[in-house]
Amino acid sequence: MSTIGAYFRLARVGWVLVREGVVAALPTQGLPPVVGLVKSLAQIFTRPNSIQESRSVRLTRAVDRLGPSYVKIGQFLATRPDVVGVDWALDLSMLQDRMAFFPTETAKSAIEASLGRPVTELYTRFEEPLAAASIAQVHPARVAYAKGERKVAVKVVRPGVRQRFAHDIESMYLISRMQERFLPSTRRLKPVEVTRTLEQTTKLEMDLRLEAAALSEIGENTKNDPGFRVPQVDWERTGRDVITMEWIDGVKMSNIDGLREAGHDLEKLAETLIQSFLRHTLRDGFFHADMHPGNLFVDPAGTIVAVDMGIVGRLGKKERRFLAEILYGFITRDYMRVAEVHFEAGYVPSHHDVASFAQAIRAIGEPIHGQPAETISMARLLALLFEVTDLFEMQTRPELILLQKTMVVVEGVSRMLDPRFNMWRAAEPVVGDWIRDNLGPKRVVTDLKDGLKAAMKLAEAAPEIAAKTEKFHQQLLHMTEHGVRFDDQTAEAIGKSEAKHGRWGRIALWVIAASLIYIAVQLS
């Protein structure tokens, strides 16, 4: 029955997208002819006044109609330009995560249920909300600490959002499976895996304890970094549905005039932002993956303060090493090394030619050099990279796509602060230092230590591995001699399962048939 519900929800999504003119704006190049036919038919039902509007306006209105879950889905897809295309990713990244407020009394009830204490005991003052997003809303409040009363920000999860998202994600799974089945060329993008990643990341984002943990971890990592920090968490007043953190008095990075009036050095802020992001990525392997200007403040001391740590990214040692070499290869124009790194990492199948891939990388990298900084577009660079990886059958790497998307956003914010900002020139000191520290003699020592630890763990586990191997060998011999057999209980369970699926399949067919008859009658 949940599958039938997903079909009906998907039909509603399709109707809204058709009505608001989003389907009419979809590209059809490279898709089967039937897609163009469907697009032509959809234009008949499109609202006339939407045709003259920009694609981003149509998309925003459609997502607003569909509800909070689809705002979150749209924002997630904005992190996957490999799936939706760079232009659509940019449109999706402009979706405004501003929702209607839910009642303050509801927020108080959620806090008390999550923390098990009255709001009056937790806070000396709890005010009306000042911002509301698809997953949570934020309230100003005050807390009496030992050193005096302080203002805090209290983020509370929106009621019912988990149940709503659980229903909406079924439709996403349905779309991704249909995409894999009917559009074989998109299978390398792993749409089902993308949907699974969306489900997992959103579930994590809905548990505010994990956002608090991310703030705490990045706070420890950056405590000695110049010009960057995150708010401190009040763990006593933090639970699954609520997080309490330090209130930040500062100017949003989206307010350029306000930053100038406060006397901040915009060029220095741009450089600090990109270098901080690269430092977190390469040094820590843990980065804030939603660094749009609304989540970045500049405090009176000129320090960048990043908030809203619901989306974060991680890179292992191996990925960081390859990333640094790829970035450094682009910076130094060593395209053969960039190509070799892609093959060593297994990103490109080994049957392709390294020199040919290096030639393709050169076509991407050369436009970066010798041009004014303001003409270099990271978005265009990514578009070319995705075209090249398609030619060379490169499989989607979700962690790298999230990193690339965040890099585009961070560069965009830096260029907003300084229109002549050159990301590559600013990145060179951080990447160069990391290369010297981690890919020189220190790397050999580190690799030897890691190898020794792995060998010790393997030695400790050797007796257990031997016992399991012997047991498996005996079971294999028994199956060879006597065959594979089910006991009566297993056979009965399989029979019941098959009967149940057959019964629901027949019911689904009758429901679909009845729906089609109803639609035909309404249209006649």
**With the C-alpha atoms ordered 106, 108, 111, 117, is the resulting torsion angle positive or negative?**
negative
Enumerate long-range contacts of 106-114, CB under 8 Å, 24 or more apart.
Answer: 106/159, 107/137, 107/139, 107/156, 110/156, 110/157, 110/159, 110/241, 110/242, 111/154, 111/156, 111/241, 111/242, 113/241, 114/239, 114/240, 114/241, 114/242
CB 409 within 8 A of CB 365: no
Residue among 342, 344, 254 at smallest CA distance from 298: 254
Residue among 33, 94, 45 at smallest CA distance from 412: 94
Whether 290 is catalytic is yes
CB 298 within 8 A of CB 253: yes
DSSP class of residue 267 equals: H
* Residue 510, CA distances (Å) to 144, 443, 519, 520 in order: 63, 64, 14, 15
Which residue is catalytic, options 91, 234, 290, 418?
A: 290
Enumerate long-range contacts of 158-164, CB under 8 Å, 24 or more apart.
Answer: 158/68, 158/99, 158/102, 158/132, 158/134, 159/102, 159/106, 159/110, 161/68, 161/69, 161/134, 161/135, 161/206, 162/206, 164/67, 164/68, 164/69
DSSP class of residue 492 equals: H
Active site residues: 290
